[in-house]
Amino acid sequence: MTTPQLPQEIFCNFCKGNTTHICKGESHREYDDGSEWVGYKFWVCAGCGHGTLEQSYTSDWLEESDGSPRYQYAYFPPRQYGYHEPKQFKHLPKKLNGIYKETLHAMNNETLILCAIGIRTLLEGICANKKIEGRDLKTKINNLSSILPKNIISNLHSIRFLGNEAAHELTAPAFAELILAMEICEDLLNFIYELDYKASSLTQMRSQRKDQSGGIP
C-alpha cells in the first residue's frame, strides 16, 4: 500500500514562486541487482493547477554521512527560477532578433558561457547593422558615439569583457551579471530600433499634417 504524500512546497513556473503542490500519483522502479532506485511523483500546483513531474534517484554509491540513502532530484519541465521574460521588438532586424532569442534561451537554461558569448555577439550585430566601423569590437563600441551618449559607451565595454572571458578563458560570469548585461542589451535595442522608429514616425506624421494644412503648425 502506497503511503499518502503530504503537500510540498515546490517552485511553480507559472506562479513564479514556491507554492503548495498536491501529489496526484507516484511510481518507482528498483533495478534487478538492487543497486539503483528511481521514483516518480506527479505534483499539481494548488494555486494554478499546472503539473510537475518529480524524478528522484539513489544508488548504493549515493549516501549521506550517516549511511542513509542520498537522493538526487530533477523536475520536468525544468524549474525556471531565474526565468527572464523575452521582450517583443517590432522593428528589430531579423538576424538581431534571432541572436537575441538564442542568447536569452541560453540564459534561461543557465548555459552561462554561451549566454555571455551571445550577448557579446548581439553587441557586434548592432554595430554591423548600424555600419559602425572599427578593426575590433573595442573600436566599434567607441565609435557608437554617433548614436549613443559617451557615458553609456564607456560602460558597454563590460559586456565586451564578459564575452571575451567566456570565449577565450572559458570563464562563466555570475548569473546576476548576465541578467544585468541582458537588460542593458534590451535597453539598447529599444533605444536604437524601437524608439528611433517611433520618433521618426512622429516626425513624419507632423510633416504630413503640416503639408495637408498648408504649412500651418
- List, for residues 86-114, the tens digit of each pLDDT value: 898 988 999 999 999 999 999 888 899 99
Q: Does one domain contain both 57 and 115?
A: no
Q: Does one domain contain both 105 and 205?
A: yes
What total number of domains does the chain contain?
Answer: 2
Q: Does one domain contain both 65 and 154?
A: no
Q: What is the C-alpha to C-alpha distance for residues 87 and 103, in angstroms, rounded to an integer?
A: 12
Q: Is the pTM of this model over 0.75?
A: no
Asked if 193 and 89 touch (Cβ cutoff 8 Å), the reply is yes
Q: Does one domain contain both 103 and 204?
A: yes
pLDDT at 138: 94
Q: Does one domain contain both 31 and 99?
A: no
pLDDT, tens digit (0-9, with 9 covering 90-100), for 46-66 = 999 999 999 999 988 888 888
Beta strands in the chain (DSSP E): 8-12, 17-30, 36-45, 51-59, 72-76
Q: Does one domain contain both 107 and 59?
A: no
Residue 60 lies in a domain: yes
Task: Find the helix packing angle between 175-189 and 150-168, rounded to 10°.
Answer: 130
Name the 3-class secondary structure at 45: strand
CATH value at residue 144: 1.20.120
Residue 22, pLDDT above cutoff 70: yes
pLDDT at 1: 45
Q: Does one domain contain both 98 and 194?
A: yes
Choosing from 48, 76, 104, the residue where a domain stops is 76
pLDDT, tens digit (0-9, with 9 covering 90-100), for 159-189 = 899 999 998 998 888 888 998 999 999 999 9
Structural domain of 100: 94-209
Residue 170 lies in a domain: yes
Determine phi and psi for 201, rounding to 5 degrees: -65, -40
Q: What is the C-alpha to C-alpha distance for residues 120 and 160, in angstroms, rounded to an integer?
A: 6
Residue 83 lies in a domain: no
Choosing from 22, 47, 76, the residue where a domain stops is 76
Cα 97 to the center of its chain, rounded Å: 14
Three cell numbers at 42?
A: 506527479
Q: Does one domain contain both 43 and 131?
A: no
Asked if 44 and 24 touch (Cβ cutoff 8 Å), the reply is yes
Q: Does one domain contain both 204 and 157?
A: yes
Q: Does one domain contain both 111 and 34?
A: no
Residue 216 lies in a domain: no
Report long-range pairs for 121-124 (Cβ below 8 Å, ≥24 apart): 121/163, 122/96, 122/185, 123/156, 123/159, 123/160, 123/163, 123/185, 123/188
Average pLDDT over residues 118-146: 94
